[in-house]
Chain A
Amino acid sequence: MSSASTAPARTAAATSPGRPALPVRRQRLRQALTGWLFSAPFTVLFVVFMALPVVVSLVMSFTDLRSTDLRNPLAVNFVGLDNYTRLFADRLFLRAAVNTLGFVVVGVPLTMVLALAAASALNSGLVRFRTLFRVGFYLPVVSSIVAIAVVWRFLLDPEIGLVNNLLRLVGIDGPSWLYDTNLALPSLTVMAAWRNFGFLMVIFLAGLQAVPADLYEAATLDGATRWQQFRNVTLPMLRPTLLFGGVVTGIGFLQLFEEPFVMTQGGPLSSTLSVSFHIYNQFGFGNYGYAASASYVLFLAIVALSAVQFRLLRERS
């Protein structure tokens, strides 16, 4: 059928070569033009405000641009990979990288476990006050970090803080959490987990509610315990949701900045200095090229972490 319909057209083209092809080409051009015209508002905005800054910052990371070059930013030297090699000899950057890694390795699983526990509890146990708990757990997510920081600084105050007063009740002399080099980062990790698990909880809750009830019914008939049901039904069914949660939390936690910025200023002794904070400082010092290269290293780390998570949690067929 199709060969029959195309045959006459082909013969027509053969009799007068080139001529009927022209309107087709022109039409195509017009179509393309119209298409570009329609997408122009987006394309222009994207190129000017997204693509161009990315390209410029990438180029910037290969130059020695400093804040003193503000008036003629083109008069800088091209230094190749110098910024990147310098970065890995920068003790402070390495310290920040180790801190951030520790924060992510402990913080992301902690947040996910907390969120999953809360979501499971809300899904099966705490049905009566579900809305209340959901709001309560979600509240830290929407609160301002500045307000949270003030409250937590009070809680963790070594003299008048609630945490240490509670410890004193059971006879333990609490440490000065935020001023101790070994405890400051763990304190911030716990605080970040507390602040962020509400968001994941809502997502996990939605994931849990999407698990078909008949699967649990079948499992119960087979005599599976609650824990076995969780391991063999809930977790596999929740894998895409867990993947999403892991990636989103991982990206957020690798960019750790607000907590140390408002709570510890990176101290004591750089024990809470994160990579983002270090980049922020470098931009502040006016080392634009150097800071840009550090940003790209962080970007690559985020891509790598996400790739690893996709690999670990992908569908197994």
Chain B
Amino acid sequence: MRSTRLATAATLVLAASVALAGCGRDSGGGQDEAKSVGGGKASGEITVWAMGAEGEKLGEFAKEFSTENPDAKVTVTAVPWDAAHQKLASAIAAKQTPDVSMIGTTWQGEFAKTGALDPTPPDLIKKEDFFPGAWDTTIVDGASYGVPWYVETRLIFYRKDLAARAGFPDGPKSWDDLKAMAKGMQEKAGAKWGINLQPPTKTGSWQSVLPFAWSNGAEVASADKLTFDTPETAEALGYYQSFFTEGLAPTALPEGSLEPGFVKGDIGAFISGPWHMGIVEEQGGAGFKDKYAVARMPMKKSSTSFIGGSSLAVFKDAKNRDAGWKFVQWLSKPEVQVKWYQAVKDLPAVQAAWDDQTLSGDTYLATFGDQLTSAKAPPAIPTWEQIASVVDTEIEKLCKQNADPAATAKAIQEQASAIGTGS
């Protein structure tokens, strides 16, 4: 009895595997043709998924769209960030997607490759309106599969008072400046640490390190080629490492002690995105806004930072595709982007929105806007998150175990090319 059961199970497994083996992967795929969107006003129900604060606020915000398009109704589902990737993946597998969804820029390659995303219609959305770095995050295999919604980039946050005592009242301009400022803050201004650089908290340190490689002229990765192993990258890694070996940056800073340290003047500077303005101003209390400043990434061959943010994508399985694209187009209007900034403090991805006084009037924000024009993102390839985790791991070795910069570049290249670009 048992043996016949085993035989049945074995037959089943065999049959399934033969069926699978028979299928096989298609070699190469045809390019998606972007279809145009019909004219007129949007109508019908548009289902939208959005994460985080965007998910909470978008429903209310979209009412204005319904006023302009009386026949259209926008239904927003708020999805928690933790669950978003899984939920989108399940929706794609089941072909039960919403019409529009917010998508993290690093997911773009993966989801576009499944063939679930609708190519961006060029008659409706104009590439030139957006920051070039942000637009690049939507490009997969040469075609655009989404529209940048909001962006963020990384700057040097530094204490003005400490910087003045260190001899850099206007902040660092070049790589040498940044190093000298960190040193001066420790020696002349009494800071415990001249600068805080990732890692201590390991995840995502590639976002702080790659800007240095890019600023040194390294290409690092493109849609079909990974080139971490270059002298430019090795030099940038060596520069980054020197902050740790010279004792200017902490190797083990407990979670949550960066902001208090910055407010107290123990930490002179750090690299982060726009959200940190709110955090340090809240922790520093009234008047702290005058005590710190933000500066562009220091110059080497260029001053190139990392661009992040989120895009909006329309799905091929959308029930209301045309109206979905019209909603996306509406969200990309400069005046709507400014209003959206006022609602949730998301920085506009549309360049024209930055001419508005709300953004250009604030020197801190204007610095972010300035940096965004040249900020870069890694290519939208489906394996990026895995490659990024390799970069994170190797950078941790570089900074904490004093690994050789050139060997680190080589180790990253080896593992990354084993992972491949997924194309």
Binding site for B on A (CB under 8 A): 55-56, 58-59, 62-64, 66-71, 73-78, 92, 153, 157-159, 176, 179-181, 265, 267-270, 281, 284-287
Give A269's nearest chain B residue, CB to CB: B396
Contacting A at CB under 8 A, from B389-423, are 389, 393, 396-397, 400-401, 422
Contact A63 B389 (CB under 8 A): no
Give chain A nearest CB distance to B62 CB in angstroms. Answer: 28
Contact B92 A71 (CB under 8 A): yes
Pick the contact of A58: B13, B19, B24 (CB < 8 A): B13
Contact A285 B383 (CB under 8 A): yes
Contacting A at CB under 8 A, from B15-59, are 16-17, 19-21, 23-26
Contacting A at CB under 8 A, from B65-99, are 85, 89, 92-93, 95
Contacting A at CB under 8 A, from B92-132, are 92-93, 95, 110, 113-116
B200 — which chain A residues lie within 8 A by C-beta?
A: 179
Contact A59 B13 (CB under 8 A): yes
> In whole angstroms, what is the CA distance A67 to B381 when docked?
12
B7 interface residue per 8 A CB criterion: no
Give A79's nearest chain B residue, CB to CB: B21
Given A55-B12, A76-B25, verify A285-B385 contact (CB < 8 Å): yes
Give chain A nearest CB distance to B6 CB in angstroms. Answer: 13
Give chain A nearest CB distance to B69 CB in angstroms. Answer: 31
> In whole angstroms, what is the CA distance A59 to B17 when docked?
6
Contact B20 A63 (CB under 8 A): yes
Q: Which A-B residue pairs are the 3 nearest by beta carbons?
A: A179-B252, A78-B21, A68-B113
Contact A269 B400 (CB under 8 A): yes
B203 interface residue per 8 A CB criterion: yes
Contact B401 A176 (CB under 8 A): no
Contact A67 B254 (CB under 8 A): no
Contact B25 A176 (CB under 8 A): no
Contact B20 A68 (CB under 8 A): no
B20 — which chain A residues lie within 8 A by C-beta?
A: 59, 63, 74, 76, 78
B252 — which chain A residues lie within 8 A by C-beta?
A: 158, 176, 179-180, 268
Interface centre among A55, A58, A78 (most CB of B within 10 A): A78
Give chain A nearest CB distance to B30 CB in angstroms. Answer: 14
Contact A76 B23 (CB under 8 A): yes
Contact B386 A285 (CB under 8 A): yes
Give chain A nearest CB distance to B277 CB in angstroms. Answer: 26
Interface centre among B85, B89, B252, B257 (most CB of A within 10 A): B252
B202 interface residue per 8 A CB criterion: yes
Contact B254 A179 (CB under 8 A): yes
Contact B114 A71 (CB under 8 A): yes
Contact B95 A75 (CB under 8 A): no
B382 interface residue per 8 A CB criterion: yes
> In whole angstroms, what is the CA distance A78 to B25 when docked?
9
Give A266's nearest chain B residue, CB to CB: B202
Given A59-B16, A66-B382, verify A270-B23 contact (CB < 8 Å): no
Pick the contact of A269: B21, B95, B255, B401 (CB < 8 A): B401
Contact B422 A66 (CB under 8 A): yes
Given A75-B23, A158-B252, verify A67-B393 contact (CB < 8 Å): no
> In whole angstroms, what is the CA distance A158 to B252 when docked?
10
> In whole angstroms, what is the CA distance A281 to B388 when docked?
12
A74 — which chain B residues lie within 8 A by C-beta?
A: 19-20, 23
A66 — which chain B residues lie within 8 A by C-beta?
A: 382, 422
Give A65's nearest chain B residue, CB to CB: B20
Contact B89 A67 (CB under 8 A): yes
Contact A268 B396 (CB under 8 A): yes
Q: List 14 A-B contacts (CB under 8 A).
A: A58-B13, A59-B17, A63-B20, A68-B382, A73-B93, A74-B19, A75-B24, A76-B20, A76-B25, A78-B21, A92-B393, A268-B202, A285-B383, A286-B382
Give chain B nearest CB distance to A98 CB in angstroms. Answer: 16
Contact A68 B254 (CB under 8 A): no
A179 — which chain B residues lie within 8 A by C-beta?
A: 200, 252, 254
Pick the contact of A62: B17, B257, B393 (CB < 8 A): B17
> In whole angstroms, what is the CA distance A181 to B399 when docked?
13
Contact A68 B422 (CB under 8 A): yes
> In whole angstroms, what is the CA distance A58 to B254 when docked?
41
Contacting A at CB under 8 A, from B246-272, are 252, 254-255, 257
B203 — which chain A residues lie within 8 A by C-beta?
A: 265
Contact B116 A71 (CB under 8 A): yes
Given A55-B13, A59-B17, A76-B23, verify A71-B202 contact (CB < 8 Å): no
Contact A157 B422 (CB under 8 A): no
Contact B95 A77 (CB under 8 A): no
Contact B382 A77 (CB under 8 A): no
Contact A287 B386 (CB under 8 A): yes
A268 — which chain B residues lie within 8 A by C-beta?
A: 202, 252, 396, 400
Pick the contact of B389: A67, A71, A159, A281 (CB < 8 A): A281
> In whole angstroms, what is the CA distance A162 to B92 when docked?
48
Give chain A nearest CB distance to B226 CB in angstroms. Answer: 16
Pick the contact of B202: A70, A159, A265, A285 (CB < 8 A): A265
Given A71-B95, A74-B23, verify A158-B114 contact (CB < 8 Å): no
> In whole angstroms, what is the CA distance A193 to B203 when docked?
27
Contact A67 B25 (CB under 8 A): no
Contact A71 B115 (CB under 8 A): yes
Give chain B nearest CB distance to A177 CB in angstroms. Answer: 10
Give chain B nearest CB distance to A63 CB in angstroms. Answer: 6
A67 — which chain B residues lie within 8 A by C-beta?
A: 89, 110, 114, 382
> In whole angstroms, what is the CA distance A159 to B9 when docked?
58
B93 — which chain A residues lie within 8 A by C-beta?
A: 70-71, 73
Interface centre among B12, B13, B24, B254 (most CB of A within 10 A): B254
Contact with A along B363-394 (1 / 0, CB 8 A): 00000000000000000001101100100010
Contact A75 B26 (CB under 8 A): yes
> In whole angstroms, what is the CA distance A269 to B199 when docked?
10
